[in-house]
């Protein structure tokens, strides 16, 4: 195979540097399937990896990109043949394995998901890890008996990739959705269009300090961690579920056991990267069917090329981006 373009991150002194390079297949981590990448996206982790603001990559040099969708070019595994459309989200690509920020990926067959019939490669990446994670949160909350009559779902970081798709999914599942955002005013039209019933300015929150505050939320989807997640534990109604997804504010959590033992609140861990294979298949089937986001066109706020990635990753870290940024690698 001829050489192909990739954005690769190298260790340099005590930091890292990302640069475009021409690679050959053997520069990539081992795998039995070669995929011609059509689309990828930018997730928070990708932005950390490319900008060097977070130690996401395990070993250098490495191609970041935790999601990709494309077409099989060659396969040593009988389950795949040239021309098959496939997608990968998580499964350690763009972390321990080389990922989607290249024209070609070489991957273990075990992590590929055949593209569901009702999704295009572009739609799969508009959903990406962000949508998959939001769907995993909905699945876990429903399994733990979350229902619309328990009250509104608070979604934090709602203008981000995960939060935006969570609004769409939870609204579609019949829940009332309150979007708690740092961009109130500026993002109101966007959030309302996705389905938010109310928009709450994060800066206006009065969090209180008591172990239990007034119970406001039927449940919550949290992308921030830190004091926001602690406050959600104090303000979720009896038997409500909080899906802990992210740490955009902080990785810390300081709360008490009171919400758990006096209100029966559940804190559900969401770990999309190593989600068990049967759940992964089930969630992609749902995301291409009854849970397919209705607002994909609105969710994709930017479409860029590989060359634009370094600047676009800086924007994401700066917190100025709304929705999903799609990266066209060779997509039509």
Residues of the shown chain interacting with ligand NAP in the complex, contacts defined by CB under 6 A: 43-45, 129-130, 133, 157-163, 181-183, 202, 223-224, 245-249, 270-273, 316, 319
In which residue are the tokens 């939320």 written?
Answer: 217
Nearer to ligand NAP by C-beta: 247 or 258? 247
Cβ distance to ligand NAP smaller for residue 17 or 201: 201
CB atoms within 10 A of CB 193: 13
Q: Which residue number, 25 or 273, has a Cβ lying nearer to ligand NAP?
A: 273
Q: Give the CB-nearest residue to ligand NAP.
A: 160
Q: What is the 3-state secondary structure (H, E, C) of the chain?
A: CCCEEEEEEEEECCEEEEEEEEECHHHCCCCCEEEEEEEEECCHHHHHHHHCCCCCCCCCCECCCCEEEEEEEEECCCCCCCCCEEEEECCCECCCECCCCECEEEECHHHCEECCCCCCHHHHHHHHHHHHHHHHHHHHHHHCCCCHHHCCEEEECCCCHHHHHHHHHHHHCCCCEEEEECCCCCCHHHHHHHCCCEEEEHHHCCCCCCCCCCCCECEEEECCCHHHHHHHHHHECCCCEEEECCCCCCCCCCCCCHHHHHCCCEEEECCCCCCCHHHHHHHHHHHCCCCCCCCHHHHEEEEEEHHHHHHHHHHHHHCCCCCEEEEECCCC
CB of 47 to ligand NAP, least distance (A): 7
Tokens 């191609």 belong to residue: 63
Nearer to ligand NAP among residue 148 and residue 182 (C-beta): 182
For ligand NAP, the closer of residues 159 and 241 by Cβ is: 159
To the nearest whole angstrom, how small is the minimum distance from the Cβ of residue 78 to ligand NAP? 31
| Shortest distance (Å) from residue 231 CB to ligand NAP | 12
To ligand NAP, the closest distance from the beta carbon of 238 in angstroms equals: 25
CB of 273 to ligand NAP, least distance (A): 6
Least separation in angstroms between CB 46 and ligand NAP: 8
Please, which residue, 76 or 201, has the CB nearer to ligand NAP?
201
Question: Which residue lies nearer to ligand NAP by CB, 73 or 95?
Answer: 95
State in angstroms the smallest separation of the CB of 90 from ligand NAP: 7
For the CB of residue 174, give the shortest distance to ligand NAP in the complex, in Å: 23
Q: Report the residue number, 159 or 235, with the smaller CB distance to ligand NAP.
A: 159
- Residue 22's DSSP bridge partners are 5
Which class for 14: exposed (0-12), middle (13-18), buried (19 or more C-beta within 10 A)?
A: exposed
Q: Which residues contact 181 (CB under 8 A, 6 or more apart)?
A: 156, 157, 158, 159, 187, 191, 199, 200, 201, 202
**Nearer residue to ligand NAP within complex by CB, 75 or 89:** 89
Least Cβ distance, residue 190 to ligand NAP (angstroms):
9
């Amino acid at each position: 195979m001829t050489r192909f373009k990739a954005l690769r991150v190298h260790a340099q002194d005590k930091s890292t540097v990302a640069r475009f390079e021409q690679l050959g297949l053997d520069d990539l981590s081992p795998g039995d399937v070669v995929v011609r990448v059509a689309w990828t996206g930018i997730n928070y982790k990708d932005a950390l990896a490319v900008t060097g603001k977070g130690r996401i990559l395990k070993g250098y040099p490495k191609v970041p990109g935790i999601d990709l969708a494309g077409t099989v070019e060659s396969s040593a595994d009988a389950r795949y043949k040239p021309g098959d459309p496939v997608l990968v989200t998580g499964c350690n690509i763009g972390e321990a394995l080389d990922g989607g920020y290249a024209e070609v990926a070489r991957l273990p067959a075990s992590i590929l998901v055949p593209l569901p019939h009702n999704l295009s490669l572009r739609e799969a990446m508009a959903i990406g890890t962000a949508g998959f994670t939001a769907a995993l949160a909905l699945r876990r909350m429903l399994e733990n008996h979350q229902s619309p009559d328990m009250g509104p779902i608070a979604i934090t970081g709602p203008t981000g990739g995960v939060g935006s798709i969570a609004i769409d999914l939870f609204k579609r599942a019949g829940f009332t959705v309150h979007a708690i955002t740092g961009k109130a005013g500026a993002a109101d039209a966007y959030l309302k269009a996705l389905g938010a019933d109310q928009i709450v300015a994060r800066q206006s929150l009065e969090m209180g300090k008591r172990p239990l505050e007034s119970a406001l939320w039927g449940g919550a989807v949290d992308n921030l961690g830190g004091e926001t997640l602690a406050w959600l534990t104090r303000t979720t109604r009896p038997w409500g579920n909080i899906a802990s997804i992210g740490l955009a504010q902080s990785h810390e959590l300081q709360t008490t056991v009171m919400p758990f033992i006096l209100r029966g609140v559940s804190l559900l861990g969401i770990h999309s990267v190593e989600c068990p294979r049967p759940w992964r298949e089930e969630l992609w089937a749902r995301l291409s069917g009854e849970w397919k986001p209705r607002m994909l066109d609105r969710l994709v706020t930017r479409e860029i090329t590989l060359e634009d990635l370094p600047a676009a990753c800086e924007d994401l870290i700066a917190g100025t981006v709304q929705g999903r940024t799609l990266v066209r690698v060779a997509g039509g």
